[in-house]
């Protein structure tokens, strides 16, 4: 896994935001002055990840100065349905494992799927420096504090004006 303080690898991936497909280039966001929070998960519709993305969306973390990109192995069509169902404002990108590999979070196998992203998060500053890094081997874990809470101070420092007071309600998404 890439550590804090390291230079983030550049990449381009297909994704969807607001129902519109596009190609997402990390260098375009970073060179445009935005910090980018990469939220890796093996698939959409995972309760813990949904709770975390919903908390970020409710806090308004995706917008001017900060981009939130959720990166899963799912197609952009599945991602669009997921974003629509949970009213997620951020971009959802599809990764066949190459970007997860560059960030050191590619899983050899997860629930019968091979080469998918593991559950991890990286905040890439507008200077390409990784400002926050977190990962877990358990796609269903509900850590306390949540990775959203752990990232909050780094997010607020990288994107002034962003609300760092964020709570994740895991119980709302677990049956």
pLDDT in tens, 64-104: 899 999 999 999 999 999 999 999 999 999 998 899 999 99
Q: What is the fold, at CATH topology level, of the domain defined by 12-158? A: Glutaredoxin (3.40.30)
Sites in the chain below the pLDDT cut of 50: none
Q: State how far the alpha carbon of 101 is from the alpha carbons of 2, 67, 119, 122, in Å.
A: 10, 21, 12, 13
pLDDT at 28: 97
Residue ranges per structural domain of the chain: 12-158
pLDDT at 161: 87
pLDDT at 175: 73
pLDDT at 20: 95
């Amino acid at each position: 896994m890439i550590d804090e303080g390291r230079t983030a690898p550049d990449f381009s991936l297909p994704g969807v935001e607001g129902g519109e497909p596009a190609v997402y280039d990390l260098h375009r966001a970073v060179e445009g002055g935005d910090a980018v929070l990469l939220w890796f998960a093996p698939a959409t519709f995972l309760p813990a990840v949904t709770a975390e993305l919903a908390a970020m969306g409710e806090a308004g973390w995706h917008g001017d100065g900060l981009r939130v990109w959720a990166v899963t192995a799912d197609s952009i069509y599945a991602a669009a349905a997921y974003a629509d169902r949970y009213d997620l404002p951020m971009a959802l990108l599809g990764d066949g494992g190459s970007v997860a590999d560059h960030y050191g979070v590619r899983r050899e196998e997860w629930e019968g799927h091979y080469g998918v992203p593991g559950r991890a998060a990286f905040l890439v500053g507008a200077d390409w420096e990784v400002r926050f890094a977190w990962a877990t081997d358990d796609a269903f874990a509900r850590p306390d504090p949540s990775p959203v809470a752990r990232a909050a101070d780094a997010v607020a420092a990288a994107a002034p004006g962003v609300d760092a007071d964020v709570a994740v309600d895991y119980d709302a998404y677990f049956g």
